[in-house]
Amino acid sequence: MKLKPILSAKQAAANMAEIEPRYSPQEALVEAERCLYCFDAPCIMACPTGIDIPAFIKKIAHGNLTGAARTILQANPLGASCARVCPTSALCEGACVMLDRDEKPIKIGRLQRYATDHVFENNIAVLKPAAQKIGKSVAVIGGGPAGLGCAAELAQLGYDVTIFEKEQQAGGLNTYGIAYYKLRPEDSLAEVELVKSLGVKIRTGAEVGRRIKVADLEKKFDAIFVGVGLGRTYRLNIPGEDLPEVFEALDFIRLIHTLPLHKVPVGRRVAVIGCGNTAIDAVTQAKRLGAEEAVIVYRRGEKDMPAYPYEYEIAKADGCGFMFHTAPVEVLAEKGRVTGLKLARTRFNAQGKLETVKGSEFIEPFDMVIKALGQEPQTAMLKKLFPKLKLAKDGTVVRDPASGQTSLKHVFVGGDCANGGREVVNAVGEGKKAARGIHRWLTGERVAGPIQTTRLGVAGPPFGSGLDHPVRVPELEAEYYKR
């Protein structure tokens, strides 16, 4: 059966309402006042963009919302979207010393959203273009989080920056590929406008490699930043995969971001293959758009899923189903339309390898199948653009992790095409890091201020925390930039 929208505009809008409403002024004040404003705050170290978290929280506590937003957006121009989509429990909130006092961590993400909403909704300009130009220019290929992070940092350092974005709108995954109830396209596009307000030119519908040639960019610009993200979803390689009701998860989510919600076609019984962040976004949105049943099909077990625990909880609360240790064998169809999936049970053998259980095949009826198996690297495209660029075996670009500089000295990279696929905030942080790498390469100057990617470790108690025992803090994987 051809897929159709299921819900009325009113129902769809209600179901897709934001999952976590904004704090009221009173709630924000109470939460901000819980913060200990730690010196050497581990939450800062855990933020890949190095936002001075205690500083902005203190400003909220003092009623200075504009100042709080300035602190956030200077460090991370995508601070409003990161406030909504960051896995805070694995980053800043996971490092908060309150956990070591057996208290709930400070809700940093929600406070960040509270402050940034204030300036976006009231059209308050908190960032300014650089007072002086330094007479150099950079081309940024890709207008997603990495490209925007790089462009904003360069613009504030005085560079002329032009972003080349192949889509009709910039913002990348933030605009087209994140669950609607977490982040709306208009919030992403407001941040794109913020970056433009710094003097960054954004050419949309401009795919480098077609009419725009890399050789021309190399002649016109002093350096190039590449933040092109990842490519298509990996294929299942099973019969029936190319039937019309088999979608890539990002294509399905893109429909939700580009069509009115009540016009998005969705199945009555939807299977989502995979169990990462995008799979959860797809299954929950299918359910919220009216699917009677929306089920994750995952070949490994519950404890192996790459999705975060909070995402798992959202999906369960939405009434989504989970079929663990189950793999698709064939997409079934009648008269060219999907009618179900042939599935098989899987298990780990004595050597720990995943295998299909012989004779375990069974059939489940579905009218829509969504593939969320992760995305392929952009190997072919990168090789076409830069034939001499050194790529790693996994298809990511080989680069200096501290500066993003590649084997081609004038080419810098960051974001998913460099790291293989991490969080939005990692992409922004890597874009920012590459901007500083470009600045150092072109001028010899270092930019002050911390940016790092982190993993949690253990260290002494932060000054001011009142603790007398070691706490979990991020180990720095990369460097502090110092003058």
The footprint of ligand SF4 (CB under 6 A) covers 35-38, 41-43, 53-54, 57, 96-98, 106, 108
Shortest spacing between CB 41 and ligand SF4, in angstroms: 4
Question: Which is closer to ligand SF4, CB of 227 or CB of 461?
Answer: 461
Question: Which is closer to ligand SF4, CB of 110 or CB of 288?
Answer: 110
Distance between CA atoms of residues 95 and 40, nearest Å: 12
Per DSSP bridges, beta strands 337-348 and 449-450 are unpaired
Tell me the DSSP string of 202-223.
Answer: EEET--BTTTB-HHHHHHH-SE
Shortest spacing between CB 462 and ligand SF4, in angstroms: 7
Q: Which residues 6+ apart lie within 8 Å of 159 measured at CB?
A: 133, 134, 136, 137, 138, 438, 439
Q: State the Rg of the chain over Cα.
A: 23
Shortest spacing between CB 114 and ligand SF4, in angstroms: 14
Residue 328 and residue 362 in contact, taking contact as beta carbons nearer than 8 Å: no
Question: Which is closer to ligand SF4, CB of 129 or CB of 466?
Answer: 466
Distance between CA atoms of residues 1 and 336, nearest Å: 9
Question: Which is closer to ligand SF4, CB of 53 or CB of 256?
Answer: 53
CB atoms within 10 A of CB 410: 16
Shortest spacing between CB 39 and ligand SF4, in angstroms: 9
**Which position has the token pair 């805070």?**
88
Question: Which is closer to ligand SF4, CB of 127 or CB of 459?
Answer: 459
Q: Which residues 6+ apart lie within 8 Å of 450 measured at CB?
A: 44, 45, 50, 480, 481
Shortest spacing between CB 58 and ligand SF4, in angstroms: 9
Question: Which is closer to ligand SF4, CB of 75 or CB of 96?
Answer: 96
Distance between CA atoms of residues 180 and 109, nearest Å: 17
Distance between CA atoms of residues 318 and 322, nearest Å: 12
Shortest spacing between CB 21 and ligand SF4, in angstroms: 21
Question: Which is closer to ligand SF4, CB of 37 or CB of 324?
Answer: 37
Shortest spacing between CB 463 and ligand SF4, in angstroms: 10
* Coil, strand or helix at 355: strand
Shortest spacing between CB 106 and ligand SF4, in angstroms: 4
Question: Which is closer to ligand SF4, CB of 35 or CB of 65?
Answer: 35
